[in-house]
Structure 1
Amino acid sequence: MPIFDKPLSELKKYRGVNPRPADFDAYWRAALAELDATPPQAELVPSTAINPHGAECFDLWFNGTAGARVYAKYLRPKTAAARKAAAPRHPALLIFHGYSGHSGDWTDKLAYVSQGFCVAALDCRGQGGRSEDTGGVKGNTHRGQIIRGLGDPDPQKLLFRNIFLDTAQLARVVMAMPGVDPARVGATGGSQGGGLTLACAALEPRIKRAAPVFPFLCDYRRVWDMDLAKDAYEELRAYFRLFDPTHAREKEIFTKLGYIDCQYLAPRIKAEVLMATGLMDTICPPSTQFAAYNKIKSRKRMEIYPDFAHEHLPSHNDKIFEFMRGL
């Protein structure tokens, strides 16, 4: 088969090239301390959009960092809230969407609800859904969210710091819901959703199973070196052209991006991981995905689709379904 990235034998050993900030661990300790000091004040509002048999649907709102009110769709079996404390509780699944998207339709979550799951699907702040983007950074807001805050001297202003924390806050909110077993919560998503699955499992170590699909937000420098700063990563090229045209700050910029590089959060993951990649993926190159996968220390396996790119992977949703049913 043709290849455009490293051979598979090298991918299985690849460790990434993007710089890791020297204070990376301190950065995320401080971020989690901020999250700890942010009461979620979760609110469930019954949805009038759909009324399926056997399921209850809610608009879920909660507080994220930086003063944002964050939205998710929340579905549960009709028996979940009515169960007594001593009764068996339900597993739960967190779902994260692709870049610039939203939480999707209610109906595509019902297969999990039919199996007794509570399901929460996040709207990332500032993207295509209902969550609030409070902004507040110096410098550009041009094009995309990877570079939001990159021109601010304070790396805590990187927007993806807050989005990563939103995933952990959602996990905490769901784990505290009536009828949910906090020891049986999984997370999944593709592309950006795959990156957020990694971030969520890293920042909320109680996540039991994680199923990222071709994760975005990994090993930015490798994307640049492969001349693939286009499509989802196009804003990296735009940033240099607009704000550092001679690349005088290249090392500084990639090092700052290292704070929100999922490969460096991956070693924190305690969940069992089922990951998938297509070896022809030119949107999120396989090497960037392996940079994160190879740093995961927990039980894991990788499903490889040699002829597939950043697209639907046949039968993989079924594999995720069976994987999560093991919660």
Structure 2
Amino acid sequence: MNAIEKRIAELERYMPDLTGGDDLEPFWHRTLQAAERKALRAERKREETPFPYADAYRVTYEGYDDTPIHGWYLVPKFVRSESLPCVVSFHGYSGGKGYPEEYAAWLLLGMAVFAVDIRGQGGETGNRLDQGYGMEKGWITQGILDHETCYYKAIAIDAVKAVDWVWEQPEVDRNNIVVHGASQGGGLALIVSALSSKPGLAVANIPNMCHMDFGMLNSTGSLTEAAAFAERFPEHLDRVLKTLSYFDMMNLAHRIRIPVMVSVGLKDTVCLPETVYAAYNRIASPKSIHVYPFTGHTVVRYHNRKMYEFVKRFITGNEERG
């Protein structure tokens, strides 16, 4: 066994202790019930683009609170179907939904696309979440002392409600909804898969929001904000860790019932391989993981091709479903 094989074998056995408390499931039961009762208050408006073969719509909807969440809804015009598969795409930390042309590959698969902003970050979406305590630079420490009102809860419900919006669109085949993202977006794809029964497939590339206590200690990414907060307020470390535990995919992976495709880079210092495997190893549904031994925090073009092949098998009915 060479060094690469040994490293992968160690990760495949990696099963750290869960950090969720006895109230994890009741918390999500209450939270999802409240989210289901909340109206989307959505608007969909046609947008002119330079591209003649896809219809583009600007969408706003309400997720966790009354913040208008912005998104692009794209429908290919060259596919003769009244019932299209649809991918719901979440961007990485500090990013935004970008421009419609960035989703051309999904359209070429014959899929509709709903690409949404994550509140307060680099898109058009603001953030009306209340803040009752100081925070570190960035976003994730907003409300981090209380899992009932924190930023992670807001973005998780925003993401669940994005799939709820897609579910209501007349062009969409409800049996063929895919959730997708990388880094933060990969974490959100996983958490939506754990919390919503509406997606049929998840693609989580180099996902964040996994084994978050380990990430606080070791990651060079967004969880450095949580570490900096705990460094500034060491008396609140236990509260920070408790809050993160409710949104840690390591603790929620058992809820996933659909096929999942994951990628991981063994040189990734943002979403470390230990964090990815800590969640992946606890997923019981059909799953696959693509390991890139020499890759850091990026998704290589080769993997993108593998991802599109995986999704194509699903939407054509040739992929095992949960």
Is 1:115 the counterpart of 2:102? The answer is: no
What CA deviation, in whole Å up to 9, does each residue of 1:118-146 have, x standing for no partner? 10111000111122311212112321332
What CA deviation, in whole Å up to 9, does each residue of 1:255-306 have, x standing for no partner? 2210111222221112211111011111111010011111111100111111
Q: How does 1:298-317 map to 2 (within 5 A)?
A: 298-317=285-304
Q: How does 1:244-255 map to 2 (within 5 A)?
A: 244=234, 248-255=235-242
Quote the residue 1:133 is aligned against: 127
Q: CA deviation at 1:88?
A: 4.9
Q: How does 1:135-284 map to 2 (within 5 A)?
A: 135-151=129-145, 154-225=146-217, 228-244=218-234, 248-284=235-271
Quote the residue 2:14 is aligned against: 14
Quote the residue 1:45 is aligned against: 45
* Aligned residue-pair number: 312
Root mean square deviation, CA, Å: 2.0
Contact 2:18 2:250 in 1 (8 A): no
Quote the residue 1:320 is aligned against: 307
Contact 1:205 1:269 in 2 (8 A): no
Q: Which amino acid aligns with 1:305?
A: Y
Q: Which amino acid aligns with 1:298?
A: S
Q: Which amino acid aligns with 2:54?
A: A
Contact 2:216 2:224 in 1 (8 A): no
Question: Taking structure 1 as reference, are residues 64 and 24 closer, same or farther at Cα in structure 2, changes over 3 Å only?
Answer: same
Quote the residue 2:319 is aligned against: none
Q: CA deviation at 1:39?
A: 1.0
Q: Runs of 5+ in structure 1 lacking a partner?
A: none
Q: CA deviation at 1:250?
A: 3.0
TM-score of the aligned structures, taking structure 2 as reference length: 0.91
Contact 2:205 2:264 in 1 (8 A): yes
Q: Which has the higher contact order (CA 8 A, sep 6+)?
A: 1
Contact 1:281 1:310 in 2 (8 A): yes
* Aligned equivalents of 1:213, 1:229: Cα separation in 2: 17
Quote the residue 1:25 is aligned against: 25
TM-score of the aligned structures, taking structure 1 as reference length: 0.89
Question: Taking structure 1 as reference, are residues 37 and 175 closer, same or farther at Cα in structure 2, changes over 3 Å only?
Answer: same
Q: Percent sequence identity over matched residues?
A: 29
Contact 1:229 1:235 in 2 (8 A): no
Contact 2:202 2:259 in 1 (8 A): yes
Contact 1:17 1:222 in 2 (8 A): no
What CA deviation, in whole Å up to 9, does each residue of 1:288-325 have, x standing for no partner? 00111111111001111111111232411111111112
Quote the residue 1:286 is aligned against: 273
Contact 1:220 1:261 in 2 (8 A): yes
Contact 1:205 1:268 in 2 (8 A): no
**Equivalent position SS for 2:179:** strand
* Aligned equivalents of 1:7, 1:31: Cα separation in 2: 38
Q: Which amino acid aligns with 1:150?
A: I
Q: Runs of 5+ in structure 2 lacking a partner?
A: 316-322
Q: CA deviation at 1:230?
A: 3.1
